[in-house]
């Protein structure tokens, strides 16, 4: 489970619930977690209010997710392991 998926499930309960809260399709949420995490930032103001987190926290989640997706896609052995913001 990547950082964005973890964030969504821990803050919203599921990707479907996240989609309902942000008034978007569940497919859009799945797209963020699988390939385009930066698109999640389009909803940054709502997410920060709904989840009571700072914009920096969400940005860290998104950037960690990008690193995790690159690591998974390319199988880079030397790529540093990303940490979830709540693990720092």
Is the pLDDT at 61 greater than 80? The verdict is yes
Q: At what angle do helices 15-22 and 44-51 cross, to 10 degrees?
A: 110
The CA-based angle 73-74-78, given to 5 degrees, is 125
| Rounded Cα gap, residues 80 and 77, in angstroms | 8
Which of 13 and 73 is assigned the larger pLDDT? 13
- pLDDT tens column, 14-44: 999 999 999 999 999 999 999 999 999 999 9
- Can you give the pTM of this predicted structure? 0.83
Q: Give residue 32's domain range.
A: 3-87
Q: Residue 8 has what pLDDT?
A: 98
**Measuring CA to CA, how many Å separate 86 from each of 21, 28, 58?**
23, 25, 11
Three-state secondary-structure class, residue 75: coil
DSSP 84: -
Rounded average pLDDT over 68-86: 69
| Total domains, the chain | 1
């Amino acid at each position: 489970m990547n950082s964005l998926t973890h964030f969504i499930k821990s803050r919203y309960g599921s990707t479907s619930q996240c989609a309902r809260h942000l008034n978007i399709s569940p497919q859009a949420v799945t797209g963020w977690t699988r390939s385009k995490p930066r698109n999640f930032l389009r909803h940054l103001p709502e997410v920060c209010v709904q989840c009571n987190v700072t914009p920096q926290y969400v940005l860290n989640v998104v950037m960690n997710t990008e690193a995790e997706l690159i690591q998974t896609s390319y199988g880079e052995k030397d790529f540093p392991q990303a940490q979830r913001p709540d693990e720092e």
